[in-house]
A and B are shown apart, each in its own frame.
Chain A
Amino acid sequence: MSAARSGAARSGAAPTGGTSLPGMALECRGVGFTYAEAESPIPALRDVSFALESGGTLALLGASGSGKSTLLQVIRGLDTAEAGAVLLDGAGPGEAAYLALQRQVGLVFQTPELQLFASTAREDVAFGPRRLGWSETAVEAAVDEALQLAGLPAAEFGDRHPYALSGGEQRRLALAGVLAMRPRLLLLDEPFVSLDPATRRELAAILARLKGAGVTLVLATHDVDLAWALCDDLLVLDEGCVATAGAWSAGPEGARVLAAHHLREPFIVDLWRRLGRDPALAPRTAAEAADALS
């Protein structure tokens, strides 16, 4: 939990190479989506509206089946909203800039390492940027930068076979494959699932660095402590509807919303309340909490 912030501080915030990764503003306006192939179609998303400013960090919480993964796929453009619209930097579908903007949205699927396929780490990461039609020089630079960001420096890992990497390294390699396309908006679907605690800390530190670099992040997760450490905004989905959206406040209203949807409060917020402190002022990380308590 603490690694998210302290890791960022240790490693420096911005990626190197002179290529900044600016964020992208995201807005969903009345988004609806129904899976057509289901025998008895149940709307997966209903009138989903929220806004996230450029460089913002959004925790997407909710029970299994509440629509989190569907929402990420619709934002990425893999599924098309049947009602409403996803606006990227204020542009809607049909506007000239939209396709180019959509290409700058990265989505890291659940267990993305299952999709690794090339015979070296470098080739696997190069697949996306090549498909975007970048020059080979640009691809090479993007691959090196992405591997570095993901904690897999090219000199050490570039020629390794993806299957010869550990589970945690494979997860980070799959992330590098998305980062190489220089996403300005990065969507992550349960990125911490099945990782050991050390690998979770490493991944949280990488995400904190991306946040520091200004990339807009949307994190769908069941891990409320890691989400609290990283995300300033909160969106709770309940059966495809928005239960709450906006700045993540740990005050009474935030506690009520989480409890109403069978979500627990972040550990530090719970601790703050039980120590008789104002939970609305609860720190984000164990390190910050320790500073306040020591």
Chain B
Amino acid sequence: MSALASDTALPLLDIAGLHYRYPGARADALAGLELSIAPGEFVAVVGANGSGKSTLARLVGGLEKPAAARRAWACGHDLLTEDGRLEARRDVGVLFQNPENQLVAECVEDDIAFGLENLGWDPAAIRARVDEMLARFHLQDLQFREPHLLSGGQKQRTALAGVLAIPRRALVLDEPTAMLDPAGRAEVLAAAARLRDEGLGVLYITQEMDEVLDADRVVALERGSVVYAGGVTGLFEQPELVRRLGLGLPPAGELALELAHRGRRLEPLPLSVDALVAALETGR
């Protein structure tokens, strides 16, 4: 436990020169990674398949041990120590892609209570916290539903409610909408947007470029290193870098690039449908 843990002015994540290699692998999955997140900051993480995004999620959540790092702090806990990783697991919530793998209990409310029971909370406190989470994620009507009867979006909201039932300071969402239909995706995005308003630091890993538009900052990974960290438009205004990283632009941006190839350049590059419509209408 670090004395820094209670100092909210410090970054929630402060990572420098971090390396990690899977057993038997020939190359580092994370190679000198740098990353910091302030309280209340919503940071998108993008990169090709295999660039290290999910490995990053596991390390930040205290689920793996870094091979080496100059600094590796998560919510004031040193990820280089066993104790620090255990503390980080409590303060940093991690939600993975497939909701099927994350629900363990017989019904929705038992699932939300699961982590609190493991932490030894007393039953009255658990009851109050579970009711709070059911209300916050609009799950009251599904309280006693068995997980396998839930839709994908409902499952992922239940998993998120379970992760956040334990009071967290930072949250890592690892492609939380990838397996969901459009309605489920909208549910999870709305829930994630509320978290940032509540002051949590959020690391949002995604392959959906239009989801990146809502982030405060974006971090792009390539072979386990950060090759871009900064504003969202700053990344998308470098189409060559975006292509090299195996990414794309949001659909409006892709269309604007096609227009630019045909000699019709829109400035600044529109990234949303609204911006594209506005740019096309003023340009005529």
Contacts and interface: CB of A to CB of B under 8 A. Distances in A.
Contacts of A263: 182
Interface in A188-235: 193-201, 222, 224-225
Contact of A286 (B175, B184, B251): B251
Nearest to A64: B152
A247 to B, nearest CB: 22
B116 to A, nearest CB: 28
A225 B181 contact: no
A62 B151 CA distance: 12
A265 B143 CA distance: 33
Interface residues of A, number: 37
B151 A294 contact: no
A194 B175 contact: yes
A202 B79 CA distance: 38
Contacts of B281: 275
A1 interface: yes
Contacts of B81: none
A197 B49 contact: no
A263 B181 CA distance: 8
Main secondary structure of the interface of A (DSSP, over half): helix
A270 interface: yes
Contacts of A63: 151, 181, 183-184
A194 B262 contact: no
Interface in B125-155: 151-153
Contacts of B151: 63-65
Contacts of B184: 63-64
Contacts of B247: 196-198
A100 interface: no
B70 interface: no
A267 interface: yes
Contacts of A168: 48-49
A276 B81 CA distance: 60
B246 A290 contact: no
Interface in B221-258: 243, 246-248, 251-252, 254-255, 258
B259 interface: yes
A275 B277 contact: yes
B181 A222 contact: yes
A293 B251 contact: no
B54 to A, nearest CB: 10
Most buried by A among B47, B209, B251: B251
A195 B243 CA distance: 15
Contact of A2 (B97, B254, B264, B280): B254
B97 A289 contact: no
Contacts of A224: 182
Contact of B277 (A65, A201, A271, A294): A271
Contact of A198 (B48, B180, B263, B280): B48
Contacts of A294: 259, 262-264
A293 B252 CA distance: 13
Most buried by B among A64, A262, A291, A294: A64
Contacts of B180: 64, 222
Nearest to A110: B179
B246 A199 contact: yes
B251 A196 contact: no
B182 A264 contact: yes
Contacts of A200: 248
A166 interface: yes
A91 interface: no
B280 A275 contact: yes
A92 B175 CA distance: 42
A202 to B, nearest CB: 10
A101 interface: no
A257 interface: no
Interface in A134-168: 166-168
B175 to A, nearest CB: 7
A267 B207 CA distance: 17
Contacts of A193: 178-179
A274 interface: yes
B189 interface: no
Given A64-B151, A199-B49, A264-B182, 9 more contacts: A166-B50, A167-B50, A194-B97, A195-B207, A196-B246, A197-B246, A267-B273, A271-B255, A275-B277
18 contacts: A63-B181, A64-B184, A167-B49, A168-B48, A194-B207, A195-B49, A195-B207, A199-B246, A222-B182, A267-B273, A270-B273, A271-B277, A286-B251, A286-B255, A289-B258, A290-B259, A294-B259, A294-B263
Interface of B: 47-50, 97, 151-153, 175, 178-185, 207, 209, 243, 246-248, 251-252, 254-255, 258-259, 261-264, 273, 276-277, 280-281
Please give me the 7 A-B residue pairs with the lowest Cβ-Cβ distance, nearest first: A290-B258, A197-B248, A167-B49, A294-B262, A198-B246, A64-B152, A262-B183
